[in-house]
Structure 1
Amino acid sequence: MSVKYVAMKLISFVDKGSYSNIVLNDAFKEFYLTAKEKAFITEIFYGVLRNKNFLDYMIEKNTKVIKKEWIRNLLRISIYQLTFMSSDAKGVVWEATEIAKKHGIAISKFVNGTLRNYLRNKDLEIKKLHDEKNYEILYSIPQYFCDILEKQYGSENLNQAIISLKKIPYLSVRVNKLKYSEEEFEEFLKERDIQIIKKVDSVYYVNSGLIINSKEFKEGKIIAQDASSYLAAKNLGAKPNELVLDICAAPGGKTAVLAEEMENKGEIIAIDIHQHKKKLIEENMKKLGIDIVKATVLDARNVNKQGRKFDKILVDVPCSGYGVIRKKPEILYTKNRENVEELASLQLEILNSAADILKDGGELIYSTCTIISQENTENVEKFLNERKEFKVKTLNIPENVSGEYDKLGGFSINYKEEIMDNFYIIKLVKEEKC
């Protein structure tokens, strides 16, 4: 099957509600593809998702009604190549025409004419969008989200914030120090001529995805993880022999950081609301050589009813996900203002429930993979106004991590950070009663 047919199929799945990372991984398992073919599919697949509003706008500018889904996706891919990749224009048009020809001469002529017409008008149309500052089309960012970004970062930083979210992400992996060392991993990279783009403690951003297929990855010596989520878990400061709770823990990346910090001594209760995610946590812990984790199915809102109190709690709550748009661009088309309001309420409920079962003197991390202040600073501020026994504690953020502290002392990894996921982290301590 042509790689473009595969990409067209994957785009259709995401349009119908599937998660981009899952359908892409499934495709790589289903089809025999070379490394070059995988790279090309990844580029055009995510490229279309990141720029879907722009591509559909340009298609509508140059066509009438398109009834067949595959034709729209073929045009999306082709226009993406013609606009955002250094592809040979004639080659792109020819290939699209040949694909369409298999469905009839009339369709092939339609595709050919549409793309040639786009090429004639492309520069003028793009200039017009820039002049009008039509970011909703130009960068495929919903207007309400543009408004949120402008409110949070100011109009002078809006363009930079939008462009930051559109960057192509690098693969990041963390060294599992229970099985491996950073020195061994760096030697592994050197032998394969893989470059380190950025390093945050034991998390490495690299310029090759091939290590996911390596023996070291399969044996649990390295684990796929972003440095942002790593820092959330690291800052909890879990110690050996403590009783630690990890809320909404699946798939277990942050749980593994906690276990490593605890030297695999003590006990971690890792909860998730879904049974299949409990199994995922258990499988990952086994792979990583961790045996202090007990995975449990539980609604995080009811965690205060389970009967135990904890030394440390990681409260990484369900969120809108706007901090991981680089990796999951479809979020821009599936979320809205109402989702944020509902999530903020849920997050506060979970945080209060967790706070009830933290020991006096215990510490808690509240974190999200979103940049929305309503889910971050505003939520924590509401919590602190009600729970006077909690105080903010200083975080340890490495110097090579960019972002900003909020008025409470929480840290937002935001548009200033070139490589890592956007994330919010704040540390709270429950003062001992006199």
Structure 2
Amino acid sequence: MNVKKRIIKLLGEFEDGKYSNILLNEYFRENNLSRGEKAFITEVFYGVIRNIIFLDYQIDKRATKKVHRRWLRNLLRISYYQAYFMRSDDAGVAWEATELAKQKLGVYVGRFANGIVRSFMREMDQEAENLKSQGKMDILYSCPKWFYEKIEKEYGEETEKLLKSYKKIPYLSVRVNKLKYNEDEFEALLEKMGINIMKQIDSVYYLDSGALIDSKEFKEGKITVQDGSSYLAAKMLGARPGDIVLDTCSAPGSKAVVLAELMENKGEITALDIHQHKIKLLDANAKNLGAKIITGVKLDARKVKEQGKKFDKILVDAPCSGYGVLRKKPEALYNKDMTNVEELAKLQYEILESASKSLKEDGELVYSTCTIFNEENTDNVQRFLQNNPEFEVVELEFPDGVEGHKDILGGLVIDYKEEFLDSFYIIKFRKRIG
């Protein structure tokens, strides 16, 4: 099948409600594709999703009638993306759009596609300048207007840099699972496969190729996909061998496995999730990675204070709006609004408040999110500290090579300036004795 036809099919399934990352991973597992084909499909598929508002604006501006056929609209989106964002050969892009449209929908539609693609190519650079001069930055950077206004309010002059950052193609990051493997063995494997290290944070590596996902080592659980920010949220809890640990919102269990590794598989980790099917996923992941001290429990984390058990360490990696991982999950930008942010902030606070009641005196708790808004981060923490004076903030420092800033409370904000790691908020508390 033609590669662009494959992308059109994938975009159609995405519009039907499937998650982009799950959809693409399943497609690659089920289809025998070359490394080059996978790379092209990945860039264009995610690129169209990241920039869909801009692309649709340009299509609708040039079409005398609205393009209702989803197949045709996705072909045009792909062609516009190639022309403007990839700077692909104009003649080749226009020719292929024409031929594919002609084969699928007839000669007339082929001519229409040719005209509308070439029109955009002639005007695309000026179009971008016009949008900027007209103050339509939300269209230029493909984000809902409310989101742009919110970012502008919180980030001011840094707004455009932030929006540009979240449109970048992410790097693959994997973590060496020290319960089964070590860095020397892993780096030898990279050398053998001709894969380069772009950045390293402890045992998390950012790589210039995704070929490892098909490797024997990945299937055996010696390496696993994980972002450096996610790893740091777990590491900064400071869990030690023999600790009794709670991970409140655990599935699929990547942070719990980090905790098990740091604890040398000695102690106890209770990993919660509200959905039974996610508990099964968590258990399978832990087994594959050799984490033997994790027990998955189906429980709403807001009710954890009612169960009576006390823990040495608690990780509250709370459900959030996900605006810190837009490079990897771009659809998060389109399927939520400010009402969702406020609802999530309320949920996060309830989980944090409940979990804190299960912490032993002198115990430590990490609160983290993969989002960027104050409502879910600093504001929640301020409220928590005001209502719970027995808790104090434990000072954390950024690891070498990680970009970000601290908020007014001392929480770490891994922000848009960090080219590799996801944007994350991490803050640590200690419960005072007495």
TM-score normalized with structure 1 length: 0.98
Matching of residues 248-287 of structure 1 within 5 Å? 248-287=249-288
**SS of residue in 2 equivalent to 1:101:** helix
Identity of aligned residues (%): 58
State the match for 2:128 in structure 1.
126
What amino acid sits opposite 1:115 in the alignment? V
User: 2 CA distance for matches of 1:253 and 1:149?
Assistant: 30
C-alpha distance in 1 between matches for 2:185 and 2:29: 29
**Residue 57 of structure 1 corresponds to which residue in structure 2?**
57
1:65-114 deviation line (CA, Å, top 9, x unaligned): 11211000000000000101131111111111111112211111111111
SS in 2 for 1:314: strand
Correspondence for 2:308: 307
Q: What secondary structure is seen at the aligned counterpart in 1 of 2:367?
A: strand
CA contact (8 A) 2:397 2:412 kept: no
Displacement of 1:15: 2.1
Counterpart of 1:317, as a letter, is: A
SS in 2 for 1:18: coil
Structure 2 letter corresponding to 1:327: K
**1:327 alignment counterpart:** 328
Partner of 1:364, secondary structure, is: strand
Structure 2 Cα separation of the partners of residues 274 and 251 of structure 1: 11
CA root-mean-square deviation: 1.0
Distance 1:32 1:184 in 2: 28
Q: Which moved more, 1:167-176 or 1:12-21?
A: 12-21
State how 1:24-423 maps to structure 2 within 5 Å: 24-63=24-63, 64-102=65-103, 103-154=105-156, 156-423=157-424
SS in 1 for 2:374: coil
Question: Hey, what's the Cα distance between the residues in 2 that align with 1:271 and 1:9?
Answer: 36
Alpha-carbon offset, residue 50 of structure 1:
0.7
Shift of 1:236: 0.2
Map Cα deviations across residues 20-59 of structure 1 (whole Å, 9 max, x no partner): 1011111112222111111111011001001001000000
- Alpha-carbon distance between aligned partners in 2 of 1:226 and 1:376, rounded to the nearest angstrom: 19
Deviation track 1:115-171 (CA, whole Å, cap 9, x = no partner) reads: 1221222222122112224211111022221222222222x2111111111111000
The whole-number CA distance in structure 1 between the counterparts of 2:277 and 2:153 is: 39
118-127 or 334-343, which moves further after superposition?
118-127
CA contact (8 A) 1:231 1:397 kept: no
Amino acid at match of 2:127: E
Contact 1:271/1:296 (<8 A) preserved: yes
SS of the equivalent of 1:334 reads coil
Contact 1:235–1:396 (Cα < 8 Å) also in 2: no
Q: Which structure 1 segments of 5+ residues have no match?
A: none
Of 181-190 and 44-53, deviating more is 181-190
2:391–2:432 contact (8 Å) kept in structure 1: yes
Contact preservation (8 Å) 1:14, 1:330: no
More deviation, 212-221/321-330: 212-221
For 2:117 and 2:227, how far apart are their aligned partners in 1? 38
Deviates more, 1:416-425 or 1:131-140: 131-140
Query: In the alignment, what sits opposite 2:7?
Result: 7
Gaps of 5+ in 2: none
The CA distance in 1 between the partners of 2:397 and 2:246, in whole Å, is: 20
Give me the whole-angstrom Cα distance separating, in 1, the residues matched to 2:275 and 2:383.
28
Query: 2:295 is aligned with what amino acid?
Result: K
How much does 1:9 deviate? 1.7
Answer yes or no: is the 8 Å Cα contact 2:84–2:121 preserved in 1.
no
Q: What is the letter of the counterpart of residue 214 of structure 1?
A: S
SS in 2 for 1:380: helix
Residues 371 and 424 of structure 1 are in contact (CA less than 8 Å); yes or no, is this contact kept in structure 2?
yes
User: TM-score, normalising length from structure 2?
Assistant: 0.98
Distance in 2 (alpha carbons) for counterparts of 1:189 and 1:120: 43
In 2, distance between residues paired with 1:210 and 1:133? Answer: 42
2:330 match: secondary structure: coil
Q: Matched residues in 1 for 2:327 and 2:368: separation?
A: 19
The whole-number CA distance in structure 1 between the counterparts of 2:398 and 2:267 is 26
Contact 2:279/2:298, CA 8 A, preserved across alignment:
yes
Q: 1:49, 1:329 within 8 Å by CA — same for their partners in 2?
A: yes
**1:14-29 alignment, distance < 5 Å:** 14-29=14-29
